[in-house]
């Protein structure tokens, strides 16, 4: 990998990642303790933001920093199973409300099986988090990120590169949206969700310390930019929520099917549980079809002339930011 074009961008990314890594570590004791599923969620949020920004700005990063994506991805992979189980267990009330009361005993029994799986998954994660492999990854992250210097002075390159990323990812979302139809596979909609998430990250992670410096450098641009950014994020919110719910429903179907097959092999699926699960899968399939239609309706807006112009104006605006002589 070549040397970064803008060293200040690499330094800002390092500072951002250091903050997120320290935040993740604050949740580590509760993750190990295991009683609060929110701790694992927040731990993963910080790791995901760290990995995302290393991906977004990879062209401007030294190899030592960009290579941190690998241990971050490995940690995320190790925590995936427990998070999937936590998410499903959190849907208990919703599942009960979806099903007829005749299936409540069966679905409660199914959730009891999932709860036991959750306990085992947590034990496996604790074993890994207290082992040598995680210790090495933790040490690598700590070593690279702990050398971050103090925040850099205002540098227009930070804002301008961020603007270019926003424009690139918005265009990618528009292209992907045109490819989605009512006949598209779930995977195609999942990819659109990923592209929207990258666009949101590019907007959300526009260099923070630049905002203060830019306000001093050009108060009018800073004020207008913040307002436009909030508007663009608000416009993405509805589509992102629908895409996230669609993904949750799709993943939930796959998760339930996989667990049912496992429990059948173990001889743990009674006819009562099977009937309840069949009813739940049918309800999820119906909800998935409805959510798909909502997404198709929303997609008309993402590439509309109004939205396109809003993104174009926002990104072009920051092209006009120049250093003070």
Contact 50, 72 (CB under 8 A): yes
- Domain edges within the chain: 7-99+113-145, 156-318
Rounded to a whole number of angstroms, the distance between the first and last alpha carbons of the chain is 32
Model confidence pLDDT, tens digit, residues 254-295 = 999 999 999 999 999 999 999 999 999 999 999 999 999 999
Contact 204, 290 (CB under 8 A): no
Q: pLDDT at position 320, please? A: 44
Model confidence pLDDT, tens digit, residues 223-260 = 545 677 888 888 888 899 999 999 999 999 999 999 99
- Tell me: pLDDT of 323 over 50: no
How does the average pLDDT of the chain come out, rounded?
87
- Per the model's pLDDT, the better-predicted residue between 58 and 211 turns out to be 58
Write down the pTM of the prediction.
Answer: 0.86
Model confidence pLDDT, tens digit, residues 135-184 = 999 999 999 988 766 555 556 777 788 889 999 999 999 999 999 988 89
Q: pLDDT at position 154, please? A: 56
| Cβ-based neighbour number of residue 304 at 10 Å | 12
Q: pLDDT at position 20, please? A: 94
- Per the model's pLDDT, the better-predicted residue between 188 and 213 turns out to be 188
Contact 207, 230 (CB under 8 A): no
Handedness of CA 233, 239, 245, 249 (dihedral sign): negative
Paired tokens of 210: 């630049």
Q: What gap in Å lies between CA 76 and CA 26, rounded to an integer?
A: 16
Per-residue H/E/C for the chain:
CCCCCCHHHHHHHHHHHHHHHHHHHHHHHHHHHCCCHHHHHHHHHHHHHHHHHHHHCHHHCCHHHHCCHHHHHHHHHHHHHHHHHHHHHHCHHHHHHHCCHHHHHHHHHHHHHHHHHHHHHHHHHHHHHCCHHHHHHHHHHHHHHCCCCCCCCCCHHHHHHHHHHHHHHHHHHHHHHHHCCCCCCHHHHHHHHHHHHHHHHHHHCCCHHHHHHHHHHCHHHHHHHHHHHHHHHHHHHHHHHHHHHHHHHHHHHHHHHHHHHHHHHCCCCCHHHHHHHHHHHHHHHHHHHHHHHHHHHHHHHHCCHHHHHHHHHHHHHHHCCCCCC
Average pLDDT over residues 83-90: 95
Q: Per CATH, which fold does 7-99+113-145 belong to?
A: CHAD domain (1.40.20)
Q: pLDDT at position 39, please? A: 97
Q: pLDDT at position 325, please? A: 32
- Tell me: pLDDT of 210 over 50: no
For residue 119, the Cα-to-chain-centroid distance in whole angstroms is: 25
Model confidence pLDDT, tens digit, residues 40-49 = 999 999 999 9
Q: What gap in Å lies between CA 323 and CA 207, rounded to an integer?
A: 16
Q: Regarding the domain with residue range 156-318, which homologous superfamily does it belong to in the CATH classification?
A: CHAD domain (1.40.20.10)
Is the fold of 7-99+113-145 the same as that of 156-318?
yes
Q: pLDDT at position 3, please? A: 54
């Amino acid at each position: 990998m070549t040397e970064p074009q803008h060293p200040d961008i690499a330094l800002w990314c390092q500072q951002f990642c250091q903050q997120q890594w320290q935040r993740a570590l604050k949740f580590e004791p509760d993750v190990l303790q295991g009683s609060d599923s929110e701790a694992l969620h927040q731990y993963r949020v910080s790791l995901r933001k760290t990995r995302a920004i290393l991906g977004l700005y990879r062209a401007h990063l030294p190899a030592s920093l960009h290579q941190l994506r690998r241990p971050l991805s490995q940690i995320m992979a190790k925590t995936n199973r427990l998070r999937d189980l936590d998410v499903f267990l959190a849907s208990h009330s919703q599942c009960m409300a979806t099903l007829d009361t005749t299936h409540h005993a069966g679905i409660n029994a199914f959730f009891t099986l999932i709860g036991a799986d959750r306990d085992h998954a947590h034990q496996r994660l604790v074993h890994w988090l207290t082992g040598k492999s995680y210790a090495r990854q933790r040490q690598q992250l700590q070593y690279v990120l702990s050398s971050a210097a103090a925040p850099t002075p205002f540098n227009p390159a930070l804002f301008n590169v961020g603007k270019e990323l926003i424009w690139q990812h918005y265009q990618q979302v528009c292209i992907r949206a045109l490819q989605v139809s009512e006949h598209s596979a779930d995977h195609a909609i999942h990819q659109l969700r990923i592209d929207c998430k990258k666009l949101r990250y590019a907007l959300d992670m526009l260099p923070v310390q630049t905002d203060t410096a830019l306000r001093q450098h050009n108060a009018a641009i800073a004020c207008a930019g913040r307002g436009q950014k909030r508007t663009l994020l608000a416009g993405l919110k509805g589509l992102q929520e629908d895409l996230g719910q669609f993904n949750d429903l799709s993943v939930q179907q796959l998760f339930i099917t996989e667990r049912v097959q496992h429990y059948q092999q173990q001889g743990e699926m009674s006819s009562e549980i099977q009937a309840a699960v069949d009813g739940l899968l049918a309800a999820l399939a119906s909800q998935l079809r409805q959510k798909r239609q909502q997404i198709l309706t929303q997609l008309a807006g993402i590439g509309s002339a109004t939205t396109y112009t809003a993104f174009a104006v926002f990104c072009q605006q920051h092209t006009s930011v120049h250093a003070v002589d």
